[in-house]
Amino acid sequence: SPEWIESLLMGSGLLRQALVFCEARPHCVALIVPLSSQISTDRIRKAVELINQQLPDYAQIENFDVVAPFTPENGLLTQTGKVKRDDVITHYSCTLAALYSTSYFISHAENSVYKNIISGE
């Protein structure tokens, strides 16, 4: 269960939401929502690298992507604030496949559309 890894990520103070996926895979990947668009991908990457130092090999996050917030409006969060994990997996199936098929950190955080989504513009 990746909740303990998600807790470590959330403890970085940089993130609004984080979901980690490790099921039946050789390594873990994460979908990350930063607190604001002002938080750079490099800063998140450094935080992930520090967290990885605390984790056993099988639990380390090899890749992550920065995504739009999970909300009740986009169907990825319940009204009580719980992430709909299965719906997130379906919604981000292509992203998760890409994360598992590459061996380096990728992110769309520099994309202006993403910055507008995060800042609510």
Domain boundaries, the chain: 3-119
The CATH number of 3-119 is 3.30.300.30
The pLDDT tens digits for 55-112 are 998 899 999 999 999 999 999 999 999 999 999 999 999 999 989 886 545 444 444 4
The pLDDT tens digits for 8-53 are 999 999 999 999 999 878 789 999 999 998 999 999 999 999 999 9
Residues 78 and 18: beta-carbon distance below 8 Å: no
What sign for the dihedral angle of Cα 84, 6, 16, 38? negative
